[in-house]
Amino acid sequence: MPQPLQLFGTDGIRGRAGVYPLTPETVLRLGQAVAEVFANQQGSIDEPTLSDRFNRDWPTVVIGKDTRQSCDMLEAAIAAGLNSRGVDVRLVGVIPTPAVAMLTKEINANFGIVISASHNPFHDNGIKFFGPDGYKLPDEMEAAIEARLVSEESFGEIGKIGRTAPMENAVDRYVHFVCEGVEDHLADGLKIALDTANGASFETSEAILKHLGAEVVTFHNRPNGVNINEECGCTHGEVIEELVRETGADVGISHDGDADRVLLADETGSVLDGDELMAIAGVDLIAQGRLAKDTVVATIMSNGGLEEALEKVGGKVVRTGVGDRSVVAEMRRDGLNFGGEQSGHLIFRDFNTTGDGIVAAVQFLRIMKRREQPLSELRKLMTKFPQAQRNIRVREKLPIEELKVASDLITETEATLGSAGRTLVRYSGTEPLLRLLIEGKDSDYIEKQADLIAAAIKAQIGE
């Protein structure tokens, strides 16, 4: 069995900036390691082999980042590591994660790098990679990079040194990329409340929506290095709800720090989560004959009401493990074109290779216009099953079976729910959290059991 990765989680390497592994020294070595792995790798990513692409004169890498203050330090460190191995670096500055995926593919770069901790607070940061095809790296590539990074073997001399330079008009190129995929004047007459989480989309999303004809009232678009995701963005749904009510907007759009997620609020100021959005898009794509194999890819965390909504129109749901990488991997494996997560990672694969918050938002504006219905009506396509969720901060990640009291309660809960519900317990791949989800038809019962299980977990391994 392959050894579990210690540094790479569900979305790259993530942790507190300035603390191992996100120190300048380690990140410089990471740049050297990823350059060496890409140079030596044979055929792990489609057409052509990585070594063929990498060994051309002056291989090139795209690096983008979000707005947190530690990004400059990490950007400089990894760029230096890449330069020292003969790799040219193109800096695209502050830009959404999906823009890096797009630009990597567009300029035929060898790979792309994003410096971001997504929805995490400013003191955290992270590094994730895209292959030359715009998709996140497969597990075996990440394992090879990590093995080279932590090995004690030094990096030998190389005959050339790369250079670092900015890429001109990167923001404009991404704005054009999103807008060219939809009809002009799509959002004419719409008033949109926009929350950019003081993050990577603070320029791009407003520009895209205005280009499409919307009246945009933008909030949390003044990043200062430490206010990213601070009481704003799509992890704080109550904020966009209130902004919609205050502004009288027709729809609210909220991103996370790197804008690969989206949360929408209807005109009444009520948010729709990723499951509701997947139901709306899935049903609409089926009606247009554009949903590949009439199948939506979702994760084990998605609400059972999503399956029920799609089954009514002849569709189905395929479930994967947690993380948009798992969703995209399944989509690619089976030739599917739409999927996502309850958290708001939505992948419209006909438009981009990864979760893209503004691409997703624009697709829902299209659905609203085509069906001539507001989100408050469209959301009626799905009836949610009651769910109880708890995020428990932990000091260590013991195997679930070693959480004796909690395990007994979980077994008892599963027996009571039977086929009418489910219980999921897993550790976060990016934070010191244990995530608990119980789904069933009796909301009082599942809330009570969630509290009991959470209390047992806290008593044994809680911070």
Task: Kindly list the catalytic residues.
Answer: 118
Residues with Cβ < 8 Å from 52, sequence gap 6 or more?
none
In angstroms, what is the C-alpha Rg of the chain?
22
How close are the terminal C-alpha atoms of the chain, in Å? 31
Q: Which residues of 250-273 are buried (b: 16+ CB within 10 A; e: fewer)?
A: bbbbbbbbbbbbbbbbbbebbbbb
Q: Could you tell me whether strands 60-65 and 164-166 are parallel, antiparallel, or unpaired per DSSP bridges?
A: unpaired
Tokens standing for residue 47: 């057409």
CB distance 205 to 233 below 8 Å: no
- The burial of 442, by beta-carbon neighbours within 10 Å (0-12 exposed, 13-18 middle, 19 or more buried), is given as middle
Tokens standing for residue 194: 């926009």
Q: What is the dihedral of CA 13, 16, 21, 25, to 10 degrees?
A: 120
- Residue showing tokens 């979760």: 355
Alpha-carbon distance of 378 to 277, in angstroms, equals 9
> What is the CB-side half-sphere exposure of residue 293 using CA atoms within 13 A?
15
CB distance 85 to 33 below 8 Å: no
Alpha-carbon distance of 94 to 198, in angstroms, equals 11
Question: Which residues are registered as beta bridge partners of 30?
Answer: none
